[in-house]
Structure 1
Amino acid sequence: MDHQRVRTGRDSETLALTYLQEQGLKILERNVRCPLGEVDLVARDGETYVFVEIRSHRSACWGMAEESIGRAKKMRVVRVALWYLKHRGLLGMPVRFDVVAVQWMGNDARIRWIPGAFDAQGLG
């Protein structure tokens, strides 16, 4: 296992969580796992439940961090969100899918928050 990659991921999640809290979101859970997959963060923005995928890169040669989320990953996040809502009696609540992209340049990180980066329409 690449320890640098694991540390980058953990550091990126912590930065993203703090950033979203500063933007007024209430973080409900981190690293929600179920048989259908995982979602990095579950938050609330007012009445809206927000499912957040965090992506990070240490090199620009791989493109922008948010570009690494393919259709299959989006479908998994949507399925986990539906599972989460169903198991907590929250079906019918407003939902949003956000991406937080963390681009590392040495020890400095640039954070881009993309509210509503994708939705469940057209993924099924």
Structure 2
Amino acid sequence: MARPLAPSSPPDPTAEHKRRLGRRGEVLAARHLTALGMVVLDRNWRCDVGEIDLVLRDGPVLVICEVKTRSSTTYGAPLEGVDRRKADRLRRLGARWLRAHDCHPEDIRVDLVGVLAPRGGPVEIEHASGIS
């Protein structure tokens, strides 16, 4: 006789809110960057090392972009959420993306976009280009 399935745990409303907020931030960031003339090549590209939020072309330059979205500054501004370790990981992910797509750009850079999207308030977008 088959065993009944264990009841699934109820969805975590906080996790779902974070996913929706993150998706909204990525859409707003992509819109902002394309308004600056960049072209989106890939979104949410994943491999075993992690995920790249946005891959774009800015003229001859390939841009690996991390998007951090927050609804408040209680825990700091969005861009404060990216440290040296995360920046290094983005560089490794960029190298993996290049190999996976057999892409050979003239140059590559890592950008960060911070999106502050408070409930009921105006959205603020901060773009840090070419982080080191």
TM range, smaller chain: 0.7 to 0.9
Farther-moved stretch of structure 1 (57-66 vs 70-79): 70-79
Aligned residues: 118
Q: Higher strand share goes to which structure?
A: 1
Quick one: distance in 2 between partners of 1:50 and 1:24? 12
* Residue 52 (str. 1) matches residue 65 (str. 2): yes
Q: Give RMSD over aligned pairs.
A: 1.4
| Residue equivalent to 1:3 | 16
Q: 1:24 Cα deviation (Å)?
A: 0.3
Structure 2 alignment gaps of length 5 or more: 1-11
Superposition TM-score, scaled by structure 1 size: 0.88
Q: Please state whether the residue corresponding to 1:60 is helix, strand or coil.
A: coil
The 4+ residue runs of structure 1 with deviation greater than 2 A are: 87-93
Q: Please state whether the residue corresponding to 1:62 is helix, strand or coil.
A: coil
Structure 1 alignment gaps of length 5 or more: 119-124
Selected match of 2:102 from 82, 89, 96? 89
Larger Rg: 2
Selected match of 1:34 from 40, 47, 63? 47
| Residue equivalent to 2:90 | 77
Q: Deviations over 1:24-46 (max 9, x none)?
A: 00000000101111110000000
